[in-house]
Amino acid sequence: MSNNRAVTYQGPMKVAVQDIAYPTFELQDGPGVNPLNVGRKVPHGAILKVVTTNICGSDQHMVRGRTTAPEGLVLGHEITGEVIETGPGVEFIQVGDICSVPFNIACGRCKNCKEGKTGICLNVNPDRPGSAYGYVDMGGWVGGQAEYVLVPYADWNLLKFPDRDQALEKILDLTMLSDIFPTGYHGAYTAGTTTGSTVYVAGAGPVGLAAAVSAQLLGAAVVIVGDLNEDRLAKARSIGCETVDVSKGDPKDQIEQILGVPEVDCAVDAVGFEARGHGKDASHEAPATVLNSIMDLTAAGGGLGIPGLYVTGDPGAVDDAAKIGSLSIRLGLGWAKSLSFTTGQCPVMKYHRGLMNAILHDKVKIGDAVNATVIGLDQAPKGYAEFDSGVARKYVIDPHNTTGKVSPN
């Protein structure tokens, strides 16, 4: 039996690298595993040696203690790896393949999967539609911030890269295919971004920057990114975006200075439930702020893409309503303006092959756009702490130093 080590949640603002069980083709009991999934056979799965696995803002919500995640939960849903073993039910994926793993687990067999709604698969989470690796209330599939990980329904879920050497050369771009690049693209696409659009992206973290890059790919004329963090805004400007500092007031006023009108064609919420107020209220958490703001500043008939995370359980929320995900949304405003809304997990498989091709053919350098920064597995606690401080980086964990970019410190 091989060894395995992983990053685990140990309580608010605490993560640790621990020994965990090496994956097998049966789901074992453990922190966060749904009892109905314990003992589940996975003959259709593959075991991957993790090449890269990224720290996500959604992980950070858990680490901050803002979810009901249990201590000991193995973190990590952004996974790229090399197949080292396949179950007897795997037909096409082969040992040695380098693959991207969509963060949302899907069976490929249910009604939703067959309709392309892989973010809300009906068969992988006994509690509700939709699942993900290493995430609270998502069925208990073990996370991928580890040396090795099990991927179920491998023939369906895994995106094989066509050339191993090319994949490793472009790994800091390709690692973003597991989540943030498709998620950002989903936000821009579902908002209705097209040739000549004016687009506002709320949030200059990695997903927001991915949404901004995606809006540019989709042909936007102007992409405006709003945030409170000047380092992140500077990164947005470096990739050709206009920016607004929402700590200085209503973003509509700054948008008007850029466009001549105080509205955009479409908008993306890449912030989620830990949003802060704008202007003089920027120091306070106000979870409905971004949703209400983008409804206000989007033109009538426009679209809103909402990939930012909203949860049904938030023990650290500012009020009792927000603790169960109930927010004071100006739905009447959205209705009056005939705005369209798209929320929920990104169906990664809808987009990842096309975005892979854009990377492989040098149409986009998403790793540079989000400032991909490689660290080792033992450096993960430090990476979490720095990411929480708001640095303009996307941390990429390389457990085996496959990239050759892990520093000794």
Tell me the CATH number at 361. 3.90.180.10
Residue 300 included in any domain = yes
Say what the pLDDT of residue 239 is: 97
Q: Is the Cβ–Cβ distance between 380 and 145 less than 8 Å?
A: yes
Residue 402 included in any domain = no
Partners of residue 226 on adjacent β-strands: 202, 244
Judging by DSSP bridges, how do beta strands 78-86 and 264-269 pair with one another? unpaired
Within 13 A of 337's CA, how many CA atoms are on the CB side? 24
Residue 150's closest CA among 307, 14, 37? 37
Say what the pLDDT of residue 245 is: 96
Whole-Å CA distances, 72 to 12, 20, 37, 128: 12, 10, 18, 22
Regions of the chain short of the pLDDT cut 50: 1
Q: 352-390 as b/e, with b when 16 or more CB fall inside 10 Å?
A: beebbebbbeeebbbbebbbbbbbbbebbbebbebbeee
Domain match, 334 and 190 both: yes
Say what the pLDDT of residue 409 is: 67
Within 13 A of 77's CA, how many CA atoms are on the CB side? 26
Cα–Cα dist 207/48, whole Å:
25
Domain match, 235 and 163 both: no
* Length of the chain counted residue by residue: 409
Say what the pLDDT of residue 313 is: 84
Domain match, 13 and 148 both: yes
Cα–Cα dist 377/234, whole Å:
29
Domain match, 210 and 280 both: yes
Within 13 A of 399's CA, how many CA atoms are on the CB side? 26
Cα–Cα dist 147/19, whole Å:
10
In the chain, the number of structural domains is 2
Domain match, 339 and 317 both: yes
Domain match, 306 and 185 both: yes
Q: Which residues fall within 8 angstroms of residue 165, CB to CB, at 6 or more apart?
A: none
Domain match, 255 and 376 both: no
Q: Which domain holds residue 114?
A: 5-179+347-397
Domain match, 206 and 104 both: no
Domain match, 27 and 51 both: yes
Q: How does pLDDT run across 333-356, given as a tens digit for each residue? A: 999 999 999 999 999 999 999 999
Domain match, 33 and 164 both: yes
CATH code, domain carrying 237: 3.40.50.720
